[in-house]
Each structure stands twice: as structure tokens, then as C-alpha cells.
Amino acid sequence: MSGKKRVFPLGFLGVLAAIVVAAVANDPAGALRVARQGWDHPTVLGQQLEDFLGQNLPFREELRGMVLRLRMLGGSLEQNGIFLVEDSLIPNLTVSGDTTLHRGNTRQILAAMERTSSPASLMLIPTACAIQQDKLPDYLPLYNQRGYIENTYRQFYGTASTVDAYNALLYADGGYLYYRTEDNLTSEGGYALYKALAARLGFTARPLSQFEVRYDVHDYYGALYQRWGYGGVRPDVIATYRDTRGTASQVLNWQRFSQRTYYTLYPQEAAASGDAANVILGGQAPRIEITTPGRRSSSLLVLGDRTALSYLPFLAGHYQKITFLDFSLLTASEIAAFNPDDYTQVLFAYSLDTYLNTEHPAKAGELGGGAG
């Protein structure tokens, strides 16, 4: 027994030595620099050695994936608040203990709605862990998203119409409503929201038969996948829904230091030059303007977050102009340049993650120079 005890630490030290030698071989100049700078200072040497090994450890991505697979074999299906369910990732919604965040969001949005003469609507969008909770472990304590939405909507009665996104997603046909590797809605999920919006915004939703579904991007891995690790997850397919009537829209994707104009809702060049998900409206931006020619004279101002990319393309066929603003990416003066009174309708639409954990929706008080 004592012999085995001696062999194990010796074997471990041997593996460790091999890793260090491989790292030095990968960057000999860097190893020499670490030795010179930290030789007389053990604390500095320890920190620099840790950084050096982290940067030069061979096969570090493969090792990371191996560690994750070992955890999965041991029965662990959770990491960093993200659950692996079958071949999909579902992040748990953690809510900040600072209730002043969402209370301030509600107060400022209400104030903005009361100042404008344009009809306003509110849509709070549940995250995947609420709609797909039957796939999660029974022991997992989930935030009551349905209850929060219902309680919040009561505060808007008499001021704005509210959109039941929760039931729209819960009872939607099909199961690919949320991406597997990205914490966002797919176009299929966006279509479910579009149908719910139609009832509140006063138009008739078009049936799926009037759209051509194309699968523009295959093998897509989003930011959620990067947070999770590697292995066990099937990549996403990004689908686009194109109006078969041939209606053409122009999209201005506005960034502070660059503006791109596309003559389609689904610019392939945007996906080719950046994130593949940019095939939808050119990707997330502080401001997106969609103009669709036709007899319609109505306009819509949408204040929201990146979930809007899922449903904005469907709304394009019902408005001459749609302006989308993401307050998290705009300055106060840029927000003040937009007045809700200049639009036929106004829609506030946020995921619960944004609404409960950030103060971005509260910037509605800065619209049109107003102060809530």
C-alpha cells in the first residue's frame, strides 16, 4: 500500500512536469522573460508563471472539454447557472436582490406612457427556463416569471395594453422557440410573439404559409455555448422567414461610428463579415430603422433589447416605418432625440432578464427630453 501511495504523487508530478515543459517549448522567449523578471520576487514569479501557463498550456481547450465531459459522466448537468438538457442549454434566471431596478423601470415606463399621446403597449418576455421548465431538474428553484409578469401588468391597466408573451410561447406550435447555444429567441419564437402582438397592435397576423422559411446559417454556436464550455450541445440553425409577396424593406443598422444600409431584412453580407447571427437585420445595434414602401402610413417605435431581432422582421410588413432603440447602447442625448408622439404606436418590449436585472428600461424617462 505504501508503494502505491508513493507512485501516485510521483506520477502526478511527472504529468505536471510534462505540462510545464510543453508550455516552455511553446513559448521559450516568454518563459525566459518570466524567469528574469520574477527570479528575486517569489510572489511576482508565482503570478507571472500562472499567467504564462494559462496562455501556453497545450491543448487547453481540449482539456477544458475533457473536464466538462468528466463532470457530465459524474452526473453534473449544470455549470455557471446553465443546464444541459438533452442537447440544448437552458440558463437559469437569477434575479438581482436590488428591487429598485425593476421598480424604477416600471415607474419610468409608466411616466413615459402617460406623457405621450400615442397608444402604448408593454410586452415582458419570459426566458427559456420558464417556458421549458418541464425539462429542468425538479429540485431547481425557479423564479416565478408568470406571477411577476401578471403583477406588473396590473400596474399598467388603464395606461397601456399588455401583451401575453408567456402564454404565446408556452402554447406555441413547435419546440424550437429558443436557441440551444444563445440566450435568445429563434425566429420561430419571434413568430409566436408576432401573433400575440397582432391582437394588441391592431393588425391581422399573417399565416406561416405566406412566408418562405430559409435556413441561412448552420452549425451556429452562440455566446451561451462559450459560457458553458465544450461538448454535449447541438449547434443552432438560424432560420429566416421571407414574405412570399415580395415586399421589400430597407434596413438602417445604426452604430455610433458606422451605419450600414441593407435592402433586405436578411443581409447575407452582414453575416459573412461578422457574427453569423447578423443575417437578421444586420445584427443587434443601438438603433435599427426598417422602412417598407406601400400604402401604409403607420409607424412604430420599439424600445427593447436583443429579443427584438426575433419578431421585428414579421412586424415590417405592417408598418411603413419601424424604429427600434436599445437604451443600453445609447446615450441620454441620443435617446432624447426620439419623441414617442412622432409615431403612430409605441411598444416597450423586454426580456425579464433585462427588466429585472438592469436599469436600461428606466431610460424611457429620457425620451423626447422628458424627465421621469
pLDDT digits 0-9 by tens, 67-93? 454 444 444 477 878 999 888 999 999
50/97 same-domain check: no
CB 135 within 8 A of CB 180: no
> Is 304 contained in some domain?
yes
276/358 same-domain check: yes
> Is 231 contained in some domain?
no
Residue 248 pLDDT: 85
> Is 210 contained in some domain?
no
> Is 189 contained in some domain?
no
302/251 same-domain check: yes
300/356 same-domain check: yes
51/97 same-domain check: no
27/124 same-domain check: no
What mean pLDDT value characterizes the chain?
A: 85
CB 67 within 8 A of CB 32: no
Is the Cα dihedral 280, 235, 184, 314 positive or negative? Answer: positive
Domain that holds residue 39: 2-58
Is the Cα dihedral 265, 271, 274, 275 positive or negative? Answer: positive
123-135 burial code (b ≥16 CB/10 A, e <16): bbbbbbbbbbbee
Cell of 209: 404559409
48/104 same-domain check: no
Cell of 130: 420558464
Q: Is 279 helix (H, G, I), strand (E, B) or coil?
A: helix
Q: What is the total count of domains within the chain?
A: 2
155/18 same-domain check: no
Q: Cell 429566416 identifies what position?
A: 240
C-alpha distances (whole Å) from 234 to each of 86, 222, 227 are: 9, 11, 15
**Can you tell me the mean pLDDT for 321-342?**
96
Q: Which of 25-39, 166-180, 269-283 has the highest mean pLDDT?
A: 166-180
31/140 same-domain check: no
> Is 305 contained in some domain?
yes
> Is 296 contained in some domain?
yes
Q: How far apart are CA 91 and CA 287, in angstroms?
A: 27
> Is 362 contained in some domain?
yes
121/254 same-domain check: yes
126/261 same-domain check: yes
List, for residues 110-127, the tens digit of each pLDDT value. 999 999 999 999 999 999
CB 268 within 8 A of CB 297: no
> Is 73 contained in some domain?
no
Q: What predicted TM-score, i.e. pTM, was given to this entire model? A: 0.80
